[in-house]
Amino acid sequence: MKTFDVAIAGGGLIGATIAFELARAGLQVALFDRQQPGEGASWAAAGILSPAPENTGMISTVPLGRASLQLYPEFVASVEEISGQSAGYRARGTLEALFSNDAQEKLSTIIALHHGLGLKAEAVSADDAREMEPALSPEVEAGVFRPDEASVDSRALTKAVLTAAERSGVKTFAGSDVQSIAKDGGRCGGFLVDGEKIQSRWTVIAAGCCSPEIEGAARYAPVRPAKGQMIALRAEDFSIERVLWSDHVYLVPRNDGRILAGATVEYVGFDKKVTAGAVQKIITAALQLAAALADAQIEETWAGLRPDSPDHLPIIGPTDLEGLVIATGHFRSGILLAPISAQLIREWITTQNVSLDWGRFSPLRFGPMQFGEVARATNS
Ligand SMILES: Cc1cc2nc3c(=O)[nH]c(=O)nc-3n(C[C@H](O)[C@H](O)[C@H](O)COP(=O)(O)OP(=O)(O)OC[C@H]3O[C@@H](n4cnc5c(N)ncnc54)[C@H](O)[C@@H]3O)c2cc1C
């Protein structure tokens, strides 16, 4: 029987970062993925590192996001040093473009909201915004610059973390389907992989949107797939320096000159088709933001499945089954939140104490509630 200190189900960025962190803390770690690790949502992501909440429901993730953003420079440096691979990290800030007639009013609200949450945000005039990013449309009325925000090449980062984890001692098992949690008396003693028992003192479920398929995990990780479609463009005669946003689209520059445009959020099960309607929507919004993209070549289109929880917040922490820990539900922020998620889980596994209050993200918060019931409870 294979025996480890920690067995992790899922080799996306979340599972891989946890594996890397725990191996560096001196633990014997094994990472199991049912396909090739790093080909799930983490492969599909835009890689924006922004702790700003998209709506009021996400405000509780801000401390987590801020802490993770702060960890990023050191995280990337150690991953790049150990793996010998670049993660495509760009710490150039992000710029949100406002178009409407009430742009000035909107600008004050956004700036006040950010400052209230301890996030840096600066008002930028339309002229200054276009000076920072000449590709911006002449119709832009104002901008919000968030100097601390950044982006990373999520495909490159995930690959680099997987390499760094292996070089730090993690044993990786590709094509290994985790079927169920294995109970040993009253505790979790590992899991079953293709019929074989993997024995571990700690078991981590980080299988993204497929986590509930692992028998025994669904009640702690009731996530579902939220499909996102993306487009990669290449422009001959211009580039953008930093992430650009509007209400309808974001544009993310990569170090290889590509500009990613995205993304949809669709609840259509496990379907990963790229659709004409979504491509049209993304391209229309991208050209409104930067009209010069009209001549850009479409190099690639793809879709990925984000792990989304009933309240859209991450699910990280211990369960009521001793030894079983969950790390999923990172929805639209799993690339940003990987370093802090890994740090908190390492702290829990090695000391049973964590440096940041993670109660709000407990896997025990759902009880018997399912998606519809949470939605009803929230609306009433
Ligand atoms: C289009 C798009 C854009 C995004 N943009 C951003 C962004 O800009 N910034 C940001 O922070 N986040 C972004 N995200 C979200 C981010 O990608 C996810 O939150 C994050 O990648 C989740 O990582 P994960 O490791 O939990 O899941 P995944 O990367 O999906 O990894 C899960 C792994 O588990 C494996 N697995 C599944 N079931 C089993 C099983 N039974 N046994 C073994 N292995 C199993 C899978 O094969 C997979 O490799 C985006 C996502 C999408 C789709």
Please answer whether residues 335 and 243 qualify as being in contact, where contact means their C-beta atoms are separated by less than 8 angstroms: no
pLDDT band at 368 (very low <50, low <70, confident <90, very high): low
* Ligand 1 atom closest to 336 (CA): 11
* Ligand 1 atom closest to 334 (CA): 19
Cβ of residue 65 lying under 6 Å from some atom of ligand 1: no
318: its two tokens: 């211990």
CA 334–ligand 1 middle distance (angstroms): 7
Percent of the chain topping pLDDT 90: 92
- CA–CA distance, 333 with 335 (Å, rounded to integer): 6
CA 154–ligand 1 middle distance (angstroms): 10
Cα 287 to its chain centre, rounded Å, is 26
Cα 360 to its chain centre, rounded Å, is 18
Q: Which of these, 33, 41, 121, lies nearest to 335 by C-alpha position?
A: 41
What is the torsional sign of CA 226, 19, 187, 191? positive
Residues across the chain: 380
Q: Which residues does residue 305 pair with via DSSP β-bridges, in sequence order? A: 227
* Three-state secondary structure call for residue 242: coil
CA 39–ligand 1 middle distance (angstroms): 8
211: its two tokens: 């986590």
pLDDT at position 102 is 79
Please choose from 35, 94, 210, 282 the residue to mutate so as to test ligand 1's pocket, defined by most ligand atoms within 8 A of CB. 210
Structure confidence by residue, pLDDT tens digits, 9-28: 999 999 999 999 999 999 99
Cα 169 to its chain centre, rounded Å, is 25
Structure confidence by residue, pLDDT tens digits, 56-91: 889 999 999 999 999 999 999 999 999 999 999 999
pLDDT at position 361 is 98
CA 314–ligand 1 middle distance (angstroms): 12
First to last CA, the chain: 51
Cβ of residue 35 lying under 6 Å from some atom of ligand 1: yes
User: Phi then psi for 210, rounded to 5 degrees?
Assistant: -95, 0
CA 272–ligand 1 middle distance (angstroms): 13
Structure confidence by residue, pLDDT tens digits, 230-273: 999 999 888 999 999 999 999 999 999 999 999 999 999 999 99
- CA–CA distance, 265 with 268 (Å, rounded to integer): 10
Structure confidence by residue, pLDDT tens digits, 223-239: 999 999 999 999 988 89
Give the residue whose CA is nearest to atom 2 of ligand 1.
45
pTM: 0.96
**DSSP letters for 65-112:** HHHHHHHHHHHHHHHHHHH------B-S-EEEEE-STTHHHHHHHHHH
Cβ of residue 228 lying under 6 Å from some atom of ligand 1: yes
Mean predicted confidence (pLDDT) in 292-309: 97
Question: ∠ CA(232), CA(127), CA(115), 5° rounding?
Answer: 80
pLDDT at position 310 is 97
Structure confidence by residue, pLDDT tens digits, 196-216: 999 999 999 999 999 999 999
Cβ of residue 333 lying under 6 Å from some atom of ligand 1: yes
The residue to which tokens 């969950």 are assigned:
326
Please choose from 8, 50, 330, 336 the residue to mutate so as to test ligand 1's pocket, defined by most ligand atoms within 8 A of CB. 330
pLDDT band at 380 (very low <50, low <70, confident <90, very high): very low
CA 372–ligand 1 middle distance (angstroms): 23
- CA–CA distance, 380 with 377 (Å, rounded to integer): 5
Cβ of residue 10 lying under 6 Å from some atom of ligand 1: yes
What separation in angstroms does the CA of 300 have from each of 2, 195, 242, 253? 41, 38, 20, 14
CA 88–ligand 1 middle distance (angstroms): 18
Cβ of residue 328 lying under 6 Å from some atom of ligand 1: yes
- CA–CA distance, 187 with 179 (Å, rounded to integer): 17
Cis peptide upstream of residue 263 (ω within 30 degrees of 0)? yes
Cβ of residue 252 lying under 6 Å from some atom of ligand 1: no
- CA–CA distance, 181 with 190 (Å, rounded to integer): 6
Res 51 pLDDT > 80: yes
- CA–CA distance, 4 with 71 (Å, rounded to integer): 27
CA dihedral 62, 63, 66, 69 (to 10 degrees): -100
Please answer whether residues 229 and 302 qualify as being in contact, where contact means their C-beta atoms are separated by less than 8 angstroms: yes
Please answer whether residues 140 and 97 qualify as being in contact, where contact means their C-beta atoms are separated by less than 8 angstroms: yes
Please answer whether residues 375 and 106 qualify as being in contact, where contact means their C-beta atoms are separated by less than 8 angstroms: no
Percent of the chain topping pLDDT 70: 97
